[in-house]
Structure 1
Amino acid sequence: MSDPVSSIRNLGPAFEQACARAGIHSAQELRELGADAAYAKLLVAGTKPHFIGYYVLVMGLQGRPWNDCKGDEKKALRQRFDTIKSGTKAAPESQMVSDLDAIGVRVAAHDLKQI
């Protein structure tokens, strides 16, 4: 049995769901990809870019608390984040789906009640 993404320090259920949408289904897959490639996959799948989310991922993969990122290290991570963000484009339909989810337009099948 594979460990879930949320078994990695700092990463919870919401991040695990975003990873699943990007085709990353286990902690092992996430570790093998590494922070940069995994974050790029998240962006392509429609996750909105957010620097804190990126460095939380980096810190988690290193086994460090999310707030351990400071100073020059944080500046260097910001440059890496900006590079990933500028080189990655979400698929138009993925971005639209993400936007619809954000405002609550789409309804999941399990949210529908049978009449």
Structure 2
Amino acid sequence: MTGAPVSSLRNLGPAMDATCARAGIHSAEELREIGADAAYARLLATGTKPHFIGYYVLHMALQGRPWNDCKGEEKKALRARFDALKAASTQDGTGRIEQALNEIGTGLRR
């Protein structure tokens, strides 16, 4: 896929390019199209450790806002959404794919 790299978005750097690529997100345009919540769910599913700051930085990046612009009620609302995404994608710190592999005995954790 061609297009501007994910790191072309404000607040996001080369590490996010690699993290998004592992989740099948290869451009800033694709990230915008998917949206922050769906993209973060994909990051979690591919092994990214949940981190609230990373989640809201992604939201701010897609809005073109400084990462530290998230405050007050907006931050509280994002925290609730983050907690829901985290709960939906993990039970023991692994992603759903890892959980399924572990259940059938072919995963990394046995």
Above 0.5 in TM-score?
Answer: yes
Structure 1: segments with no counterpart, 5+ residues: 97-115
- Match of 1:9? 10
Looking at structure 2, the residues matched to 30 and 86 of structure 1 have their Cα atoms a distance apart, in angstroms, of 22
Looking at structure 2, the residues matched to 75 and 82 of structure 1 have their Cα atoms a distance apart, in angstroms, of 11
Looking at structure 2, the residues matched to 58 and 13 of structure 1 have their Cα atoms a distance apart, in angstroms, of 17
> Offset of 1:30 from its aligned partner?
0.2
- Match of 2:63? 62
- Aligned to 2:11, what secondary structure does the other structure show? coil
- Match of 2:43? 42
Question: Percent of aligned positions with the same letter in both sequences?
Answer: 69
Name the TM-score, length of structure 2 as normaliser.
Answer: 0.82
Structure 2: segments with no counterpart, 5+ residues: 102-106
> Could you give the per-residue CA deviations for residues 42-79 of structure 1, whole angstroms, max 9, x where no partner exists?
00000000000000000000000000001111000000
Count of matched residue pairs: 95
Name the TM-score, length of structure 1 as normaliser.
Answer: 0.79
Q: Which has the larger radius of gyration?
A: 1
> Could you give the per-residue CA deviations for residues 85-111 of structure 1, whole angstroms, max 9, x where no partner exists?
111131227x95xxxxxxxxxxxxxxx
> Offset of 1:16 from its aligned partner?
1.1
- Aligned alpha-carbon RMSD (Å): 1.4
